[in-house]
């Protein structure tokens, strides 16, 4: 399994990177990455109905659509994204399988995380990770968020929260149901330190795992895909 720490924080590049690895590589992969402030909408969503456009425009928040289904999510540099790409098609819809490495790694830091519902991870009942999948031929792409030190205010105000079950102000509502990993650590860690810890854990605990650095050719092809697809109005809004 190729293990990639993608340090690029451009949302268009990073979503293109996932598709490029899924479709152009043969090996199974694990990747960690972060986005600058953006909203990532599910493949089948109506973008304008999911976002608070006034807030998004005022705060220069990027909008990008992903390959997988599911709901819209806010990313910032306090959120870590993880991606597994598997050659075992039977793992499609097996969300729990791909979250085991995350749960096990957190145990090493004395943080008790649990798989909850269909595709969430929680600590003390509060969500810190949502997951989604996409299948291409015999390859399965599984990706998830990891709230580490994310800005809860931006999470709540950049998205249209429609559910009637949330009472009171949106920020208060979001705070009551999400949590950051950093709040549960016995010893403080910077987000970069946590990424390094998580990458080392996967490399050292999963057979035939090896670090891989994107080549100049990889980067050129990913940038082309980002320019031609992921940064376009047609993909991000017109596909609604």
Taking CA atoms, 51 is separated from 45, 46, 72, 151, in Å, by: 11, 9, 8, 16
Which residues face 129 on adjacent strands?
121
pLDDT of amino acid 38: 96
pLDDT of amino acid 131: 96
Element (H, E) at 53: helix 53-58
* CB atoms near residue 156 (< 10 Å): 21
pLDDT of amino acid 167: 42
Distance of alpha carbon 211 from alpha carbon 1, whole angstroms: 9
Interaxial angle between packed helices 11-24 and 216-225, expressed in degrees from 0 to 180 and rounded to the nearest 10: 110
Residue 149 has pLDDT above 90, yes or no: yes
* CB atoms near residue 49 (< 10 Å): 11
Which domains does the chain possess? 2-227 (3.30.930.10)
Least Cα distance to 74 among 100, 25, 35 occurs for 35
Distance of alpha carbon 10 from alpha carbon 194, whole angstroms: 20
Mean pLDDT, all residues of the chain: 91
**Residue of 70 and 140 predicted with greater confidence:** 140
> pLDDT tens across 224-238, in order?
999 999 999 999 998
Element (H, E) at 137: none
Q: Which two tokens stand for residue 178?
A: 């999400």
> pLDDT tens across 170-208, in order?
444 444 589 999 999 999 999 999 999 999 999 999 888
pLDDT of amino acid 240: 60
* CB atoms near residue 47 (< 10 Å): 21
Greatest pairwise CA separation for the chain in angstroms: 50
Q: Which residues contact 148 (CB under 8 A, 6 or more apart)?
A: 78, 79, 80, 180, 181, 182, 191, 194
Q: Which two tokens stand for residue 29?
A: 């992969």
Among residues of the chain, what percentage have pLDDT more than 90? 78
pTM of the model: 0.92
Q: Which two tokens stand for residue 72?
A: 């819209």
């Amino acid at each position: 399994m190729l293990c990639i720490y993608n340090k690029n924080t451009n949302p268009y590049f990073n979503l293109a990177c996932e598709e490029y690895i899924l479709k152009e590589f043969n090996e199974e992969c694990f990747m960690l990455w972060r986005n600058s402030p953006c909203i990532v909408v599910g493949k089948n969503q109506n973008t304008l109905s999911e976002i608070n456009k006034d807030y998004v425009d005022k705060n220069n928040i990027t909008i990008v659509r992903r390959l997988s289904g599911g709901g819209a999510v806010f990313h910032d540099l306090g959120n870590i994204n993880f991606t597994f790409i598997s050659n075992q098609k039977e793992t499609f819809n097996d969300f729990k399988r791909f979250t085991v490495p995350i749960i096990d790694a957190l145990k090493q830091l004395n943080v008790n995380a649990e798989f909850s519902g269909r595709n969430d991870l929680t600590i003390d009942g509060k969500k810190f990770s949502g997951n989604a999948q996409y299948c291409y031929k015999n390859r399965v792409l599984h990706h998830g968020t990891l709230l580490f030190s994310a800005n809860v205010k931006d999470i709540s105000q950049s998205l249209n929260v429609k559910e009637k079950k949330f009472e009171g102000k949106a920020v208060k509502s979001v705070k009551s149901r999400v949590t950051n990993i950093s709040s549960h650590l016995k010893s403080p860690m910077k987000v970069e330190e946590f990424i390094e810890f998580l990458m080392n854990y996967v490399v050292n605990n999963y057979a035939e795992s090896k670090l891989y650095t994107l080549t100049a050719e990889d980067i050129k092809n990913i940038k082309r895909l980002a320019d031609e697809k992921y940064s376009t109005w047609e993909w991000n809004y017109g596909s609604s």
